[in-house]
Structure 1
Amino acid sequence: MNLLPKSSKEFGSVDYWEKFFQQRGKKAFEWYGTYLELCEVLHKYIKPREKVLVIGCGNSELSEQLYDVGYQDVVNIDISEVVIKQMKERNATRRPQMSFLKMDMTQMEFPDASFQVVLDKGTLDAVLTDEEEKTLRQVDRMLAEVGRVLQVGGRYLCISLAQAHVLKKAVGHFSREGWMVRVHQVASSQDQVSDTEPRFPLPVFAFIMTKFRPVPGSALQIFELCAQEQGKPVRLESAERLAEAVRERQQYAWLRSQLHRKAGLGSVSLDLCNGDTGEPRYTLHVVDSPTVKPSRDNHFAIFIIPQGRETEWLFGMEDGRKQLAASAGFRRLITVALHRGQQYENMESIQAELSARVMELAPAGMPAQQQVPFLSVGGDLGERTVRHRDCSPLSGDYVIEDVQGDDRRYFRRLVFLSSRNVVQSEARLLTDVSHRAQKKRKKDRRKQRPAGTPEEPPAVPEQAIDKGYLCCEHHKAMVAGLALLRSPELLLETPLAVLVVGLGGGSLPLFVHDHFPKAHVEAVEIDPCMLEVATRWFGFSQSDRMKVHIADGLDYIASLAEGEARPPYDVIMFDVDSKDPTLGMSCPPPAFVDQPFLQRVRRILTPEGVFILNLVCRDLGLKDAVLGGLKAVFPLLYMRRIEGEVNEILFCQLRPEQPLATPELLEKARALEQALRKPGGGWDDTCVLSDMLQTVQLV
């Protein structure tokens, strides 16, 4: 029998509820959960001897069950005469002290401060059906009456789905009155009781609004969230942040419901937060592999990504995770990334912490009591040491961190927290700066530091950075592009003017400076904080052959192109990221590939020079437009896709005699590498320039 209204507006109709309870009869109707599901929250916030008013009681058994466990001072009201009559008849003998009154909760007949608790199970949701003026006036009267009949220190305990408009109204009303606002998630609210009465796909929340005595002139507002029955409340800074936290939990519940019903939802990710602080602790990605044939043991697995390796293609990109899931051979794989700033004891403690939560995301059809394997890379959690945190006015929050790579070597990274899974700059640390040595030095500094003095880890000495090693594959490809210039042996013997737009940690300009002894390198960086980062943490330094200009790259190149004495550059490199993640192109910003600007780049490039661009573009239409624009300005255009990354390196030239075939390119790259492998030059054996040009294509 379907008794739900066709329109939510019918919830506010007396006629609807009269008809509802006549059809329903004596069978109890439990909005948003039974007593057993709600009792932990109810007992937490209602004392047995307190006087309780239940508004909109309906024919729920909740009051009766509270009465039976010792809450006997309970008054129930409802606008339906039919249901009040039913409830009186049902309880006259067994519960003589409990009363049922037909009463409009917007015009209650009780004296002021009559109750210590007002209990509302779904009534506010039923009344606040929309945000029309008439409805809001009715709700204002209802909430004002709740406040009037409560004593100071009393609580309005409202069980609700916490729809956005309901949460906004309730929190706004009581916070303005100076009440403490707490939202408590009811843990078991999403379970199914039976097939005939399915629950709402959204979680159920309890609003606990505590009445404080008004303090004239005080603007103090208290907002708290309890995400678990026994969890500690987390203090939040605003009503907006409280609404956001509730919305996150609603989205998780919806996702859980969808994942349980079907597979193949596409790319799905979510954060699990520390219950005490509200800070993200784990990031989960759910990957389904519909092509994997089902068997008893391959339904579901969890993969723990070692700290610091979440940025690798296999773990950090959707295509990589799909490959990982297919290789693992499970129908559903959840990858788990560990957050910086959080402490993790060992793999066993992580499994214990995650087991209950990730099992909620298991696929339908998984056998009962199925053992779910936790996978990892050699059982290793990895190592990550945050060396420095700061905030740039231009780039936002960032961290400098040292992580252990898959070869047990340590790497230093610059990461902007707005794109926490993207490494902005990276350098390898020399072997004498091991993690163990760092820990020993930190311990020694702590002994020497006066009590109470905050610790600021010193910058690693310049020699600790391996300047001969390029961590980023796209940087290696950009260096290989210098083979397009001229005879490789001449590159090391003749002056070379190089302009690099985008400094970051300084690895790319520093590498060119150190390995091309006649090169004069200029770097342009818009953010002065990045020069400080590069100097202090990545071993970068300026010299007579290395200059940094703090300027907008667009303005700097425009001023050069329009000046009378235009210094031509043999090499121009763009390695600059966009701060707008919505564009579909994260590197470079669109203004750097506009036609007028590309013409300016052309004017400051020597006729035989090469313009090298790091392009990161996921929008195929936009990428085609960028390539078309480059081709219109630079007649010769080569493209090299970086394996396992989104990066594509574009090599642009003006007037070459003729395009070079792949064998010629590879030969020039080998000759350049041979010239660079000079004794004592610190060349990294893993950097094979010919490999960087192996898959170059002519556009």
Structure 2
Amino acid sequence: MALDASTFETITPSRFIAFTVPHPTCSDSTLRVAVLDSPLQPTDSPRVGAMLVPEGRETDWIFSTESGHLQLLFSSPGISRLILIGTLFKEGTLTLLQSRAYHRSLECSLQHQGFEVWSKPLLLALSPKSLFKRGIPEIPLLSYEDSLVSSVVVHECVGCHVGEMLVEDVEIENESDHGREFRRRLRFKRMPNLIQTEICIIPERDCDGVCIGGDVGFVPDLKVLVHPYLGPMVAGLVLNSEYVEGRIRMGFRPKALCLGVGGGALMTFLRNQLGFEVMGVDSDREVLRVARKYFGLEECEFVRVVVGDAFESMNKLVCRGKLNGRRSSFDDCEVNGFGGHLVVEDEVNCKFDVVMVDLDSSDVRNGVRSPPLEFIRKDVLLAAKLVLCEFGILAINVIPPSRSFYDNLVSHFQEVFHELYKIDVGNGENFVLIATASPLVFSVEDCGNSFLMRLKSVIPEAFINSITKI
């Protein structure tokens, strides 16, 4: 359907329109044009800004979604209308472009050459009439800068539940020491805003001039958690660290249940850095294959993975905890490791010192939201509590789409669990909620607690100190 040129003559708060037009200089591509009006009431003298999407980053959430465009608009003070222009390549050309590396310093400057010339008629046609009161206006060209230096897609595949996903290696600027580091990311295309897993990677061999997309490969470095909310989730273990320490002194290995495996970074960290026995549950077999091949997930005596639904798996664990001394396999799940079955020695050994939940909504219409609404049901929360030891904790990543969602979540947790704590991750998006199965008395002082000392050595103490009771 053709657009009416008069549509753009006035500023309409929060209006978002995206369309395509032929590229004026490249026959193998079209232009995606997105026009977003600020949700704030326009002034008498509205300002229009334009931005060219860096080539190779057209599918990044910030350049391809309305919520991303809104963030760009808010990061440009005083702009009433943002016009974003990006290139859409034909399918064969796009595949070729995705297989090569993106380099910010080289490509951005080259791409902007000539943009001011060929884009001006289009930008003027998309500007409101009030902008022409004093003649033909100048439309400022805005620039976007983030920490990404270069990237390359190293693998693409499709999972039965998560759909299309990709693995990419990136080089980013480290803001703390102004250096650079390499990371590997797992992205689900159904949620362009969501980096599902991010880990550090290091070159396979030492040599000069190592870069993303070059001849030198990279391998996972799993000593630290770099994904924003994983460190705070693990920091929650300070709440029952005294109990965990007591279990270790009695000769027991602490146990963790991870609902949502993704790349497996959290599972591997809990096993390698804190000595946990870990069970992970994920619904998508393809995600687990990617985790093993690209993110260093290795199953062993103390790391096992269940392919199945997180909620059903919890219910089966609850039932299994009541089967004292009996051996039974997951009826509808595939268990990798331990010969495909669990041996239940007693009810206590069937329970976990911590349950960590990293599940996001699969409904893309509602944007990024975590956890899914199904997890807030009382029967699910009760099951989560029942698989915990007496002094166990549940740590959950929360991305609230609204304040009401967050308040409702807190209310449901408080109905089931004894105490509730939170950590603000500090990225403006994630919170970590920590629920306790029983009242806990804890101290952040070491006082001979070797587990707490170990925890502090691998998790920034700022996360531990930021835990507040709700």
In the superposition, the TM-score normalised over structure 1's length comes to: 0.51
Counterpart for residue 325 of structure 1 = 76
Q: Is it true that 1:363 corresponds to 2:128 in the alignment?
A: yes
1:465 corresponds to 2:220: yes
Shift of 1:641: 3.1
SS in 2 for 1:588: coil
Asked if 1:410 corresponds to 2:179, the answer is no
Identity %: 19
The worse-fitting range, judged by mean Cα deviation, of 551-560 and 582-591 is: 582-591
Quick check: 2:151–2:212 contact (8 Å CA) kept in 1? no
Q: Give the Cα–Cα distance (whole angstroms) in 2 for the partners of residues 358 and 342 of structure 1.
A: 30
Quote how far apart the aligned CAs of 1:568 are: 1.1
**How many angstroms does 1:320 deviate by?**
3.7
Deviations, residues 302-328 of structure 1 (Å, cap 9, x unaligned): 245656695579x965774354022xx
Max Rg structure = 1
Query: Counterparts of 1:558 and 1:641 in 2: how far apart (Å)?
Result: 30
Residue 632 of structure 1 aligns to a residue whose secondary structure is: helix
Residue 379 of structure 2 corresponds to residue 596 of structure 1: yes
Residue 399 of structure 1: aligned partner: 166
CA distance in 2, matches of 1:338, 1:383: 19
2:353 maps to amino acid: D
Deviation at 1:392, TM superposition (A): 1.5
Contact 2:258 2:358 in 1 (8 A): yes
Matching residue of 1:698: 469
2:135 is the alignment partner of 1:384: no
Counterpart CA distance in 1 for 2:373 and 2:316 is: 19
**Structure 1 regions of 5+ residues with no counterpart?**
1-245, 443-459
- Show the 5 A alignment for 1:295-310: 299-304=47-52, 310=60
1:637 aligns with 2:445: no
Cα pair 1:480 1:693 within 8 Å, conserved = no
Q: Is the Cα–Cα contact under 8 Å of residues 277 and 302 in structure 2 kept in the other structure? A: yes
Change (3 A) 1:626 1:289: closer
> How far did residue 651 of structure 1 move?
0.3
Distance in 2 of aligned mates of 1:432 and 1:294: 59
1:491/1:619 Cα in 2 relative to 1: closer, same or farther (>3 Å)? farther
Contact 1:384–1:404 (Cα < 8 Å) also in 2:
yes
What letter corresponds to residue 561 of structure 1 in structure 2? Answer: V
Cα shift at 1:472:
2.0
Deviation of the 1:338 alpha carbon: 7.2
Q: Deviations over 1:115-146 (max 9, x none)?
A: xxxxxxxxxxxxxxxxxxxxxxxxxxxxxxxx
Please state if 1:579 is matched with 2:355.
Answer: no
Question: Cα 1:280–1:478, aligned 2, differ >3 Å: closer, same or farther?
Answer: farther
Task: Say whether the 8 Å CA contact 1:303–1:374 is kept in structure 2.
Answer: yes
User: Is residue 305–residue 381 contact of structure 1 (8 Å, CA) maintained in 2?
Assistant: no
Structure 1 residue 441 corresponds to structure 2 residue 215: yes
Partner of 1:348: 112
CA contact (8 A) 2:49 2:139 kept: yes
Aligned to 2:281: 524
Superposed, 1:138-149 pairs within 5 Å as: none
In the superposition, the TM-score normalised over structure 2's length comes to: 0.73
* 1:515 matched to 2:301: no
The structure with more strand, counted as a fraction of residues: 2
Tell me, yes or no, if the aligned pair for 1:587 and 1:615 is still in contact at 8 Å.
Answer: yes
Query: Closer, same or farther in 2 for the Cα pair 1:337/1:562, shift >3 Å?
Result: farther
Quick one: structure 1 residues 605 and 547, their matched pair in 2 at CA, closer, same or farther if it must change by over 3 Å?
same
Aligned residues between the structures: 410
Distance 2:386 2:16 in 1: 46
Offset, 1:632: 0.9
1:349-398 CA distances to partner (integer Å, 9 max, x unpaired)? 58356554444332332244433232324699953311111112221111
Q: Which residue of 1 aligns with 2:298?
A: 541
Distance 1:587 1:338, change over 3 A: farther
Cα distance in 1 for partners of 2:398, 2:269 equals: 20
Question: Does the 8 Å contact 2:318/2:386 carry over to 1?
Answer: yes
Taking a change above 3 Å as real, the CA distance of residues 287 and 561 of structure 1, as seen in their structure-2 partners, is: same
Q: Give, in whole Å, the separation in 1 of the partners of 2:157 and 2:74.
A: 36
Instruction: Give 1:289 shift.
Output: 7.7
Deviation, structure 1 residue 609: 0.9
Alpha-carbon contact 2:50-2:140 (below 8 Å) kept = yes
Provide closer, same or farther for how the CA distance between residues 380 and 632 of structure 1 changes in structure 2, counting only shifts above 3 A.
Answer: closer
For the 8 Å contact 1:311–1:423, the answer to whether it is kept is: no
Q: Which letter maps to 1:535?
A: R
Match of 1:159 in 2: none
8 Å contact kept, 1:388–1:399:
yes
2:140 to 373, 376, 387: 373
CA contact (8 A) 2:162 2:284 kept: yes
Distance 1:557-1:515 versus aligned 2 partners, 3 A rule: same
**Post-superposition offset of 1:505:** 0.9
* 2:233 is the alignment partner of 1:478: yes
Partner residue in 1 for 2:260: 502
Q: Which has the higher contact order (CA 8 A, sep 6+)?
A: 2
Residue 202 of structure 2 aligns to a residue whose secondary structure is coil
Give me the CA root mean square deviation: 4.0
Cα distance, 1:469 vs structure 2: 3.1
Which secondary structure state, in structure 2, belongs to the residue aligned with residue 521 of structure 1?
strand
Query: Hey, what's the Cα distance between the residues in 2 that align with 1:598 and 1:290?
Result: 40
Letter in 1 for 2:158: C
2 CA distance for matches of 1:355 and 1:492? Answer: 69
